[in-house]
Amino acid sequence: MRVRPSLDGTLKKKKEELKLALQGHIHSHQRLMLKTILTHIDFLTEQIEMLDQEVAERTSSYQEDIERLDSIPGIAKRAAEQILAEIGTDVEKQFSSAPRLCSWASLVRGHNESVGKRESSKSKKGNKYLKSGLTEAAHSVRGSKNYLGALYRRTAGRKGKKKAVIVVAHAMLRIAYYLLTRKEMYVDLDGLCPGSYE
DSSP characters for 26-61?
A: --HHHHHHHHHHHHHHHHHHHHHHHHHHHHHHHTGG
User: Mean pLDDT across the chain, nearest whole number?
Assistant: 84
pLDDT band at 177 (very low <50, low <70, confident <90, very high): very high
Asked if residue 78 is part of any domain, the answer here is yes
Q: What is the pTM of this model?
A: 0.74
pLDDT in tens, 113-146: 666 676 666 666 778 899 999 999 999 998 888 9
The pLDDT, as a whole number, for residue 123 is: 61
Q: How many CA atoms lie within 13 A of 179 on its CB side?
A: 22
The pLDDT, as a whole number, for residue 143 is: 86
Asked if residue 10 is part of any domain, the answer here is no
User: Is the separation of the CB atoms in 69 and 83 below 8 Å?
Assistant: yes
pLDDT band at 195 (very low <50, low <70, confident <90, very high): very low
* Whether residues 82 and 34 fall in one domain: no
Asked if residue 2 is part of any domain, the answer here is no
* Whether residues 49 and 76 fall in one domain: no
Mean pLDDT calculated for residue range 21-38: 87
State what percent of residues in the chain have pLDDT above 90: 51
pLDDT above 60 (res 197):
no
* Whether residues 54 and 95 fall in one domain: no
Task: Pick the more confident residue, 192 or 188.
Answer: 188
State what percent of residues in the chain have pLDDT above 70: 82
- DSSP 8-state code for residue 104: H
How far, in Å, are 47, 79, 85, 116, 129 from residue 133 at the CA level?
21, 7, 12, 35, 6
Which structural domain, as residue segments, surrounds residue 50? 25-58
pLDDT band at 19 (very low <50, low <70, confident <90, very high): confident
* Whether residues 132 and 43 fall in one domain: no
* Whether residues 159 and 132 fall in one domain: yes
DSSP string, 105-137: TT-S----EETTEE---PPPP--HHHHHHHHHH
Q: Quote the Cα angle for 129-130-136, to 5°.
A: 90
Asked if residue 195 is part of any domain, the answer here is no
* Whether residues 69 and 149 fall in one domain: yes
* Whether residues 34 and 100 fall in one domain: no
- Residue 113 pairs with which residues in a beta bridge? 118
The pLDDT, as a whole number, for residue 189 is: 74
**Euclidean distance between CA atoms 45 and 64, whole angstroms:** 28
In the chain, the number of structural domains is 2
User: Is the separation of the CB atoms in 14 and 29 below 8 Å?
Assistant: no
pLDDT above 90 (res 180):
yes
